Structure 1
Amino acid sequence: MRYSRLFVPTLRDDPADAEVVSHKLLLRAGFIRRVTSGVYDYLPTGLRVLRKIEAVVREEMDRAGAQELLMPMVQPSELWEKSGRMEKYGPELLRFKDRHGHESCLGPTHEEVICDLVSRELRSYKQLPMNLYQIQGKFRDEIRPRFGLMRGREFVMKDAYSFHADGASLTAEYKNMFDTYCRIFTRLGLKFRPVEADTGSIGGNNSHEFHVLAESGEDLIAHCTACEYAANVEKAESGRNLPQCVVADITEVKTPNVSSAEDVSAFLSVDIALLVKTLIYRAVGGERDGEVVAACVRGDDQLQEIKLAHAIGADSVEMATDAEIEAIGGVTGFVGPKGLGCKVLMDQSLTGALGLVAGANRRDTHLTGMDVERDLDAVEFCDLRETRAGDKCKRCDGTMELSRGIEVGHVFELGTRYAEPMEVMFQDHNGKRAVATMGCYGIGVSRLMAAIVEQCNDDAGIAWPADLAPFQVSLVTMGKSDEVNEASEMIYRQLQDSGIDVLWDDRNERPGVKFKDAELIGLPLQIVIGDRGLADGVAEIGLRKGERKSVPLADTVSEAASMLQAAMGAAG
């Protein structure tokens, strides 16, 4: 491609509304442009990168035995009513009516549509297992779209759905997809980590997220320094060293205007780990919908709300109002577990604890010397706390660390969560009707573009891996003589004939501008044809921001191919 004909509007300064590196650089380098909140155009260079990422995903999915199809973005609402997700999914599901008054939605995911398709075609267990996937645009009406492609409303996703006659077959395919994802992200040159994860609104049983490690990541993942255990903090389990406790009588003490755990700890001169934080929540969805519950963790721990929601079988939880707290016998700021008129859940680290300090459910008053077994009735213990750096791993004797990650993939064992209500049935080997069991496997293709940039950048711009760059070679013409232009065109044609993606910067610009644009866009290899070198029969060649060397003009293309092959081999 000739640069003079390429639509690549680069910017010299960071856009004011861009917060993270990938958003800044993808805008500056002319890969994307904002249409509206969370919606972007992919310009020619951006689309070239996107297609190369898709090609890696497609090759590995095909290799794993999956079959590609394409489903519509517009989905009839009756399918979502049938699965029970129409209201449960919430406001992220964009709904609309056509001219006939028929309600539909823009698909954020395709479990309902794929189940509808398979339910109409599946007859026998002999057709199973099957794995069907697509690479397609989706829409989620995010309340706060941000960070460019990392959290947009419209995005490109690879989603796959497998159907099985039994759980053993599903487990085997789950491992197949897990291994496939590891190959995909390795081929893309990413530093990534698979972690155990919550299943979220998709539902199902076992699930893993794949995170690209980056400080800009929105997700916090916990991982052991000594073993392979890793999990999203929404699910991670860990242990901790606890302070020595002593038996004491439970006693009321005055704590005027002192309510936070830190302030109570200082006021009473006790270890903050001996305090009990009692948080009052209202269940949203599930059998306990609307019910108020109390959740207790140690004073220096944070409650993980998703763990609480799972513990009570709710879709989510919301903080209770002052009126709701008062209705169960509590006092805002001084709530404690003793005497509350609601279900009380305690983090398992409080099992058998004594010598604790908790709110007395009276203003300006706390209880000291609390013994969980002696002083509390009908308490349920479960994992409620959020893992912290330095905690003990529950799988080994290692220590837990925390890292930031960008979620780029997620695999689920769905079971019959969708197949049963959507009536995905087949005749089993005994001739009886049975419900298929399902797996679901997603990759954020457009988010991957941003994640790669988060890991592959420097002060000059993007540094694409050689096999993902929009063009592998930046051919820079320095000089205006006919001889330089003719030599440049000859090398340009030879590179194209060799199957190398080349961008020939034939613009009438200063060399500094050409080199800055090449580095901003992230092209991995530079070839420079200039009057001085041409007089000696050589071209200059070098990796982006690396040292350039002189090679005979006749060897330029073969040297470029060799250097690119080495670069791709190093990345892999």
Structure 2
Amino acid sequence: MRYLSQIFQPLITIPKGAKLKNTDITCKSQKLLLECGLIRPTSAGLFTILPLARRAIDKLENLIHKCLEHVNAQRMSLPSLTSARLWERSGRLDQVGAELLMVQDRHNKQYLLAPTHEEAVTELMADVGPLSYKQLPLLIYQISNKYRDELRPKHGLLRAREFQMLDLYGVHADEASAASVYDDVTGVYRRLFDSLHLPVHRVSAPPGEMGGSVSHEWQLPAAAGEDTVAVCPSCSHVSLRGPCQRCGSETTTLNSIEVGHTFVLGTRYSECLQARCTPPDSNPTPLVMSCYGIGITRLLAGSIEHLSSETSIRWPAPIAPYTALVIGPKEGSKEWLSHNPERVRGVSQLITDALGDEEVIIDDRHHLTIGKRLMLADRMGYPYIIVCGRSSTDTPPKYELYRSNSGHEEPGPLLLELSPLLEHIKQSQPKLFNKCINSFYVLLFLWKRFVLLFQCMIHLVLSDHHRP
């Protein structure tokens, strides 16, 4: 069982009525993450991720891993350092050079701390190739730290010099395969963001220095966002700018945060880096490639930016550091006699059994009043807060249940006996995501099997037709 007093969470306490003089704090998510002891700045644009935020990021990573399993993506790890020679060959060293963090080894060879790994993946495919068309399509990915020498890092994790990112790369024999896989992966993106209850919009965008034929940004509306999206009130179509391209109506402009970007790259990298595949009955041709990114630390901060108030964090429920916090009575109170630490641990264990895994934490700071701890818990945004308060001395005991995750705000606590409390928590757990994901992939599997069967039937009919 976890205890809040044992968590490394260096809070920043600001006296009531005080005005912040630190102009580096420029947005809501940055302020809340700092004050709640979730991150700590080390220098401009660089942050230590503290345990509770790390736990939330781990949960987000696990969600992404589960999603990518459904498209048969395989995880790997690439070096953070990439040879500058590769970026010279692709032409991107001059295009992006000002944002690259460069290092030089003792042999005077130049390397860069990679912000992305298209060149490195393409070189890998060239090194092991040419690949047979039978090996394709191939999806490989990593989750790792990336680096960008931001001119003016700001907004905390929203624009940092070091950030955590998913980069997924698709390798295909032809454009048709790339387009099909692109639809599958972007479908997974949509279900991921839906599971987090975030209204992330897929918006067509220019490919920029990345190149390619197809490019979509994944934009999350938020006041602190440095991008903008144009939302049509008539047909709900979302674009980057201007009147609605679908119905011609005037649009409403919203600030937004880019939390992901997806591309069909074509042969942009494979041609210059000599990565090829061997089609049936043909000479080797350049691989067709695609890539998919999600800024994980940016998505974490962006979700807080979108969901939270100015004074309290609100998490997407699946990635809250802990799902439930149990607050016991103040030491020495009359409630303390019936709900001492041992009894509070017993209640917490029953809630843990209901939730599964280690999702419950006990606020064992019994020297503080329940009201003070409840205020701090609400500020941290635990989805469920269970209080052993005045009614816990009733026969049978009743417990106060507060919901604080976004979309489930309640005007006051529910007062429940233990069994109904446990049942309420079980029933309200988010299960929709897994059901949607599984249903989607069952239908996709059945559709692909139907197409394969149809192709086989056509082949048999044609064979009979041409048989003498």
For Structure 1 versus Structure 2, the TM-score category normalised by the shorter chain is: 0.7 to 0.9
The aligned residue for residue 504 of structure 1 is: 362
Q: Aligned pair in 2 of structure 1 residues 44, 15: CA closer, same or farther (>3 Å)?
A: farther
The aligned residue for residue 2 of structure 1 is: 3
> Which residue, out of 336, 343, 366, partners 1:487?
343
The aligned residue for residue 39 of structure 1 is: 46
In the aligned structure 2, how far is the partner of 1:459 from the partner of 1:29? 13
The amino acid of 1:523's aligned partner reads Y
In the aligned structure 1, how far is the partner of 2:204 from the partner of 2:431? 35
> Which residue, out of 459, 464, 471, partners 2:322?
471
Query: How many residues are aligned here?
Result: 414
The amino acid of 1:453's aligned partner reads I
The aligned residue for residue 541 of structure 1 is: 401
1:155 Cα shift?
Answer: 0.3
Higher relative contact order (CA 8 A, sep 6+): 1
Q: Aligned pair in 2 of structure 1 residues 415, 566: CA closer, same or farther (>3 Å)?
A: closer
Q: Aligned pair in 2 of structure 1 residues 411, 211: CA closer, same or farther (>3 Å)?
A: same
Say whether the 8 Å CA contact 2:339–2:392 is kept in structure 1.
Answer: no
In the aligned structure 2, how far is the partner of 1:506 from the partner of 1:560? 22
In the aligned structure 2, how far is the partner of 1:424 from the partner of 1:53? 33
Say whether the 8 Å CA contact 1:525–1:564 is kept in structure 2.
Answer: no
Q: Once structures 1 and 2 are overlaid, which stretch shifts more, 434-443 or 114-123?
A: 114-123
Match runs of 1:388-467 below 5 Å? 391=243, 393-467=244-318
1:532 Cα shift?
Answer: 4.9
1:136 Cα shift?
Answer: 0.8
Say whether the 8 Å CA contact 1:135–1:157 is kept in structure 2.
Answer: yes
> Which residue, out of 519, 525, 539, partners 2:384?
525
Q: What TM-score does the superposition give when structure 1 sets the normalisation length?
A: 0.69
In the aligned structure 1, how far is the partner of 2:428 from the partner of 2:245? 46
1:124 aligns with 2:136: no
- Determine helix, strand or coil for the equivalent of 2:152: coil
The aligned residue for residue 100 of structure 1 is: 107
Say whether the 8 Å CA contact 1:38–1:145 is kept in structure 2.
Answer: yes
In the aligned structure 2, how far is the partner of 1:567 from the partner of 1:112? 38
Q: Deviations along 1:270-296, whole A, 9 cap, x unmatched?
A: xxxxxxxxxxxxxxxxxxxxxxxxxxx
Match runs of 1:98-177 below 5 Å? 98-122=105-129, 123-177=131-185
Q: What TM-score does the superposition give when structure 2 sets the normalisation length?
A: 0.83
1:438 Cα shift?
Answer: 0.8
> Which residue, out of 423, 429, 434, partners 1:558?
423
- Determine helix, strand or coil for the equivalent of 2:270: coil
Q: Aligned pair in 2 of structure 1 residues 520, 50: CA closer, same or farther (>3 Å)?
A: same
1:515 aligns with 2:389: no
- Determine helix, strand or coil for the equivalent of 1:136: strand
- Determine helix, strand or coil for the equivalent of 1:185: helix
In the aligned structure 2, how far is the partner of 1:518 from the partner of 1:550? 18
1:495 Cα shift?
Answer: 2.5
The aligned residue for residue 223 of structure 2 is: 215
1:433 Cα shift?
Answer: 1.3
1:443 Cα shift?
Answer: 0.6
In the aligned structure 2, how far is the partner of 1:104 from the partner of 1:567? 45
Say whether the 8 Å CA contact 1:177–1:411 is kept in structure 2.
Answer: no
Q: Aligned pair in 2 of structure 1 residues 127, 532: CA closer, same or farther (>3 Å)?
A: closer
Say whether the 8 Å CA contact 1:476–1:526 is kept in structure 2.
Answer: yes
In the aligned structure 1, how far is the partner of 2:307 from the partner of 2:233? 25
Say whether the 8 Å CA contact 1:472–1:524 is kept in structure 2.
Answer: yes
Say whether the 8 Å CA contact 1:541–1:560 is kept in structure 2.
Answer: no
1:94 Cα shift?
Answer: 0.8
1:565 Cα shift?
Answer: 4.7
In the aligned structure 1, how far is the partner of 2:381 from the partner of 2:245? 43
Q: Deviations along 1:360-382, whole A, 9 cap, x unmatched?
A: xxxxxxxxxxxxxxxxxxxxxxx
**Unaligned 5+ runs, structure 2:** 15-19, 438-468
The aligned residue for residue 441 of structure 2 is: none
Q: Aligned pair in 2 of structure 1 residues 434, 460: CA closer, same or farther (>3 Å)?
A: same
In the aligned structure 1, how far is the partner of 2:82 from the partner of 2:97? 16
1:541 Cα shift?
Answer: 1.7
The aligned residue for residue 251 of structure 1 is: none
Match runs of 1:42-57 below 5 Å? 42-57=49-64
Say whether the 8 Å CA contact 1:221–1:404 is kept in structure 2.
Answer: yes
Q: Aligned pair in 2 of structure 1 residues 397, 95: CA closer, same or farther (>3 Å)?
A: closer
The amino acid of 1:401's aligned partner reads T
1:494 Cα shift?
Answer: 2.2
1:133 Cα shift?
Answer: 1.1
In the aligned structure 2, how far is the partner of 1:111 from the partner of 1:119? 12
- Determine helix, strand or coil for the equivalent of 1:467: helix
Q: Deviations along 1:26-62, whole A, 9 cap, x unmatched?
A: 1111111111111111111101111111122221122
- Determine helix, strand or coil for the equivalent of 1:91: helix
Q: Deviations along 1:308-330, whole A, 9 cap, x unmatched?
A: xxxxxxxxxxxxxxxxxxxxxxx
Considering fraction of residues, name the structure with more helix.
2
- Determine helix, strand or coil for the equivalent of 1:133: strand
Pair member with larger Rg: 1
In the aligned structure 2, how far is the partner of 1:551 from the partner of 1:540? 7
**Unaligned 5+ runs, structure 1:** 234-386
In the aligned structure 2, how far is the partner of 1:434 from the partner of 1:459? 55
Q: Once structures 1 and 2 are overlaid, which stretch shifts more, 558-567 or 44-53?
A: 558-567
The amino acid of 1:402's aligned partner reads T
CA RMSD of aligned residues (A): 2.3
Match runs of 1:72-91 below 5 Å? 72-91=79-98
Say whether the 8 Å CA contact 1:425–1:435 is kept in structure 2.
Answer: yes
Q: Aligned pair in 2 of structure 1 residues 541, 222: CA closer, same or farther (>3 Å)?
A: closer
